[in-house]
Chains A and B, each alone.
Chain A
Amino acid sequence: MIIVPALVISLASVWWSGSGDAGTHAELPVPFPAPLTSWAEHVETIDRAIATHQQRAGREPTDWLSPSAEAASWIDRASMTGRWQDYAEAERALAMAMARAPESNKPYPLAARLALALHRNQAVEPALTAAVADRTFREVAPQADAAAMRGDVAMYQGDWQTADRLYLSAMTASPDAAFAMRRAFILERTGEAGMAHQAWIDAAWVNPRPTRRMLAAIALRLGHHDLTRGQWSEAAAHYADADRLLPGDWHVAASLLQMRALDGDLTGALAGMEALAQRHDLPELWDAVAAWKQAAGDASGARVALDRAARGWHDWTARYPEAAAAHAADHALIAGDRDAAVRWAEANYRQRPYGDAAILLATALTAKGDYARARPLLTPVTASGWRTMEGDRLGFELAALAGDGDAAEAAQAAALERNPRAFDPAARLILFGLH
């Protein structure tokens, strides 16, 4: 009587633990079974939801819930596709929802989310202040969400300590992987490598029903973490996990191609990246093609790719300059337009004066030869505990350029301690996973 159920349960648990995820790191949980198993299926599902919300909004002029849901779907879509056009649709739908919604029920939390996504930090707090608890959407835990968003604003203002406190309060109020991942990101920048790694793992176990998409995002972040610590084979393994969890995600595909380049197969990686860029037509992918073609000595091919990227960034920056500023600076650096790189990096830093933005601005200033301005930018960043691979390398370079041999050697030693491959010649090919 006992044996049969026990056998069934045992077999079921074996099936559960092994279902469709052979080879996934044992540290991550098994995703909750769901029909959506690929990136394309997720996007298609979002598209169907958008169509449904649009139909409903079209039928009923006073319906504000449908355009709100549509805006949320477009934001979700944009996070998957990386297309600014999706954010534009989200803005349109949100404007419709705002216009239709009664005063006591306007979708301010959604407005705050969109403002954050578009790097319009100054618009977040007013939206949160005006927000009311919206009981229509189950997935929203208003106070925890608000705390997390305030934490995001604090982090991008350079106050990562306040950000961490706010994320912790959000986790306490409503445990969610999204809040745990934010804390893991801060640990990655400011903490010890092992703690950061564990924080990403812990984030994966917060939600009782982890989705493939969430686990793939964490696997991707684990890969980025390993990459910037010089553990390239571990990074490749995590990216492979992410690809198994959510095949077709362009972020993951780009990272996998990057590992191929780091492994010495730049030709193969380039071919793959060109195909990926053709498929998604995203400017950051064309920038990667350009940078790798430069590394391969194909200057004319790099120019063609840069032109494709420039067209994309032109549209981005025209519509959403705050959101595109950092990307535009990266593009300008690859293109060799140092003045533009400094302009965009300064705009990005004005909008979000946090560690990564300071390092990007210091990088642009160094490229322009303005070492005197670059070096003082890095000092407070490092002093605050915020460290990245690029910051470490730049610190060494600036000290060497200043003729400060002692500081340069100390910076070099610190960089290598954190990442033994910080100065590997192949590391110049790393474009994804640095932020």
Chain B
Amino acid sequence: MQRWPGLLALLLLLPMLTASAAAHVTPNSELTIDFRDDGILIDVIIPEGDYVTASGAPGQREKRWAAAWLSGQVAGEAPDGRPWSVRVESVEFVQRAGPPDLHAQIRMTPPRGGPVRRLSLRWDAVVRQNPDHFALVLVGHDHGANVLPQDRRLIGAVRGEQRTLTIDRGAASGWAAFQASFRLGVHHIAEGTDHLLFLLSLLLPAPLVAAGRTWGGARTTGSALGQLAKVITAFTLGHSLTLLIAALGRWHLPTQPVELAIALSILVAAIHAVRPIFPGREAWVAAGFGLVHGLAFATLVSDAGVGGSDRLLSIVGFNLGIEAVQLVVAGLAIVPLMVLARTPDYRWVRWALALIAAVAALAWIIERMSGTANPVAGLIMTLAGQAPWLWVGLVVLAVVARMRQARVSGSGATSGRSPSS
């Protein structure tokens, strides 16, 4: 998904967000380790040429052969000498930058009762066959130490006769896990264009009062803020509930129906922004769709391998990260919307923004049903990448509309009324 950095959110959260990312820039192998509550997942990159020379692979890119070979090239040992189990989960040959690489995922599990965060990792692939080859070992994700994928850190290397690396990540810290989860929540929602678009679509009519089957005049400031608070709170309660239940229960739901439902929620909210279809029940709708959005968040939390005794704390941290960004985004959006709502121009602004949301929703529905990339969806993501400028544009629009209205008021026309839809 395209990143949409919530400006204020990022400024406030900057100390927790510092990241240093190292790309695969070496001609040698890389092992990136994801520490989970039940073991580790190693993301392996080996230059294909080195793999072929070292392994004597018989055929062109035989994945099964490669997996079998790889499984014999790695071993883990607990501090008491007991071996870890090894399973090669996937192998593919890809070319991303430079020559092609073998890319694999290896899952390793400690012996019963053995620590997950302490092991001796032995790596022989290519290194044993070619003493000049070295393999970098990095930590890609360690929730218990507040290391997220964007913070990838080098912890050692193996080469020649030095093919065993002792890894001790220390005790997992609940506070570190909370911080990591908070950052993960911020990161996910900041990149979650669909979640934020749903919220913003609900906010479009928030400054207005429904009048039958149309949107009527503007609410007072207090009333608008109250409506905003109700909608956001309801959405938060909804997604928090399913996030907690699904994450704690380690539900693994199929992604496609959840993603489709999210796209549908945006479409419904966009229609509602044009013509009230559930006036006065926005909070209930927000809560209801919030339940669906929460399921998507729960999948991410599960994929992040957060667990153990810190799981609840991590889930709360993740949720708070989401809330922080939501509050900032909603706060930034509602101000120009409230100003615009008091001008005759708000009608076409609301319709235009609702139309964009509806088009985005339809594009995502098609994309998520067909499984193929949709150019319209791509365009929406490109626009989302320019969100800060769009916000500036909205603010400017609000100021200009207000000034125009003030000029018209000054020449004797009525003011303070927004047009009906």
Instruction: Please list the residues of chain A having a beta carbon within 8 angstroms of any beta carbon in chain B.
Output: 295, 297, 299, 333, 336, 338, 366-369, 371, 397, 400-403, 405, 408-409, 412, 416, 423-428
Could you say which residues of chain A place their CB within 8 Å of the CB of B25? 412, 416, 423-424
Q: Would you give 27 A-B contacts (Cβ < 8 Å), ordered by A?
A: A367-B131, A367-B160, A368-B160, A369-B160, A369-B161, A369-B162, A371-B162, A400-B134, A400-B136, A401-B134, A401-B156, A401-B157, A401-B162, A402-B156, A403-B155, A403-B156, A403-B157, A403-B165, A405-B155, A409-B20, A409-B22, A412-B25, A416-B25, A423-B27, A425-B27, A425-B98, A426-B27
A to B contact number (C-beta, < 8 Å): 67
- Nearest B residue to A393 via CB reads B26
Could you say which residues of chain A place their CB within 8 Å of the CB of B294? none
B76 adjacent to chain A (CB < 8 Å): no
Stretch at the interface among B45-53, B217-225, B351-359, B367-375: B45-53
- Nearest A residue to B24 via CB reads A423
Give a binary string over B91-118; 1 marks a CB under 8 Å from any A CB, 0 the rest.
0000000110000000000000000000
B233 to chain A, nearest CB (A): 43
B153 adjacent to chain A (CB < 8 Å): yes
Roughly how many angstroms separate A405 CA and B162 CA in the complex, as a whole number?
Answer: 17
Roughly how many angstroms separate A397 CA and B153 CA in the complex, as a whole number?
Answer: 15
Could you say which residues of chain A place their CB within 8 Å of the CB of B47? 425
- Nearest A residue to B20 via CB reads A409
Roughly how many angstroms separate A371 CA and B157 CA in the complex, as a whole number?
Answer: 12
- Nearest B residue to A407 via CB reads B154
Given A297-B52, A412-B22, residue A336 in contact with residue B131 (CB < 8 A): yes
Roughly how many angstroms separate A401 CA and B27 CA in the complex, as a whole number?
Answer: 15
Give a binary string over B4-37; 1 marks a CB under 8 Å from any A CB, 0 the rest.
0000000000000000101001110000000000
Instruction: Please list the residues of chain B having a beta carbon within 8 angstroms of any beta carbon in chain A.
Output: 20, 22, 25-27, 47, 49, 52-53, 98-99, 131-132, 134, 136, 153-162, 165
Could you say which residues of chain A place their CB within 8 Å of the CB of B98? 424-426
Q: Is the CB of B20 within 8 A of A423?
A: no
Roughly how many angstroms separate A336 CA and B131 CA in the complex, as a whole number?
Answer: 8
Could you say which residues of chain B place their CB within 8 Å of the CB of A295? 49
Q: Is the CB of B27 within 8 A of A427?
A: yes
12 additional A-B residue pairs with CB within 8 Å, beyond A297-B52, A403-B157: A297-B53, A367-B160, A368-B160, A369-B131, A369-B159, A400-B136, A400-B154, A401-B156, A405-B153, A405-B154, A408-B154, A424-B25
Could you say which residues of chain B place their CB within 8 Å of the CB of A402? 156
A402 to chain B, nearest CB (A): 8
Roughly how many angstroms separate A409 CA and B23 CA in the complex, as a whole number?
Answer: 11
A306 to chain B, nearest CB (A): 15
Could you say which residues of chain B place their CB within 8 Å of the CB of A423? 25-27
Given A409-B20, A425-B47, A426-B98, residue A397 in contact with residue B157 (CB < 8 A): yes
Could you say which residues of chain A place their CB within 8 Å of the CB of B161? 369
Q: Is the CB of B131 within 8 A of A338?
A: yes
Q: Is the CB of A397 within 8 A of B154?
A: no
Given A426-B98, A428-B27, residue A297 in contact with residue B132 (CB < 8 A): no
Could you say which residues of chain B place their CB within 8 Å of the CB of A366? 159
- Which of B25, B47, B162: most chain A CB closer than 10 A? B25
Could you say which residues of chain B place their CB within 8 Å of the CB of A427? 27
Could you say which residues of chain A place their CB within 8 Å of the CB of B52? 297
Could you say which residues of chain B place their CB within 8 Å of the CB of A425? 26-27, 47, 98-99
Could you say which residues of chain A place their CB within 8 Å of the CB of B26? 423, 425
Could you say which residues of chain A place their CB within 8 Å of the CB of B153? 405, 409
A48 to chain B, nearest CB (A): 46
Q: Is the CB of B49 within 8 A of A297?
A: yes
B142 to chain A, nearest CB (A): 13
Could you say which residues of chain B place their CB within 8 Å of the CB of A338? 131
Could you say which residues of chain B place their CB within 8 Å of the CB of A424? 25, 27, 98
Could you say which residues of chain B place their CB within 8 Å of the CB of A336? 131
Could you say which residues of chain A place their CB within 8 Å of the CB of B158? 401
Roughly how many angstroms separate A333 CA and B156 CA in the complex, as a whole number?
Answer: 24
Could you say which residues of chain B place their CB within 8 Å of the CB of A368? 160
- Nearest A residue to B26 via CB reads A423
- Nearest A residue to B101 via CB reads A425
Q: Is the CB of A409 within 8 A of B154?
A: yes
- Nearest B residue to A295 via CB reads B49
Could you say which residues of chain B place their CB within 8 Å of the CB of A403? 155-157, 165
The 4 closest A-B pairs by CB, nearest first: A400-B157, A425-B27, A405-B154, A403-B156
Roughly how many angstroms separate A91 CA and B134 CA in the complex, as a whole number?
Answer: 45
Roughly how many angstroms separate A199 CA and B383 CA in the complex, as a whole number?
Answer: 49
Roughly how many angstroms separate A60 CA and B251 CA in the complex, as a whole number?
Answer: 102
A19 to chain B, nearest CB (A): 42
Roughly how many angstroms separate A412 CA and B154 CA in the complex, as a whole number?
Answer: 11
A325 to chain B, nearest CB (A): 21
Roughly how many angstroms separate A369 CA and B53 CA in the complex, as a whole number?
Answer: 21
- Nearest B residue to A368 via CB reads B160
A208 to chain B, nearest CB (A): 46
- Nearest B residue to A397 via CB reads B134
Roughly how many angstroms separate A426 CA and B26 CA in the complex, as a whole number?
Answer: 10
Could you say which residues of chain B place their CB within 8 Å of the CB of A408? 154, 157
- Nearest B residue to A420 via CB reads B25
